[in-house]
Amino acid sequence: MIEVLTGFPDNVLAFACHGHVTKQDYESVLMPAVETALESQSKLRLYYETASDFDGIAPGAVWEDTKVGLGHLDRWEKFAVVTDVGWIGHTMKLFSFLMPGDLRVFSTDQAAQAREWIVA
């Protein structure tokens, strides 16, 4: 499940992933939020955290995530990924050079720092 987080500026999309994230989660929550935000914002920032109950992501969801990023390549400004899931942090760091904006990975105990950075 993907939860929309509130309390961020309009140019920051914030999400927390719980349990097993599916393609349907991306299609019903994340993608509509991105499309709506792009109607009023020229550049977007993304705050993305894995909650303590996160237990994985379906292959179809990974593809949807890639499509969202590539579909609006020139509209992304910053990415804050908050996770203690090793493979997610390593993958983000490994492919950060492909990201159109500044990407930083934070551990879950650095979530407050990640939130400060994404809005700064």
Fold of domain 2-119: Rossmann fold (3.40.50)
CA proximity to 91, closest of 75, 79, 73: 79
Q: What is the mean pLDDT of each run of 10 residues along the chain (120 residues)?
A: 96 96 90 91 95 89 60 80 91 76 93 98
Question: Looking at residue 21, what is its pLDDT?
Answer: 92
Question: Looking at residue 95, what is its pLDDT?
Answer: 74
Element (H, E) at 82: strand 76-82
Structure tokens at 54: 């996160």
> Could you tell me which residues are beta bridge partners of residue 45?
12, 78
Question: Looking at residue 67, what is its pLDDT?
Answer: 56
Question: Looking at residue 23, what is its pLDDT?
Answer: 86
Phi/psi region, residue 110 (left: phi>0; alpha: psi -120 to 50; beta: rest), is: alpha
Which residues lie below 8 Å from residue 45, measured CB to CB, with a gap of 6+?
11, 12, 13, 76, 77, 78, 79, 80, 101, 118, 119
Question: Looking at residue 70, what is its pLDDT?
Answer: 53
Question: Looking at residue 85, what is its pLDDT?
Answer: 93
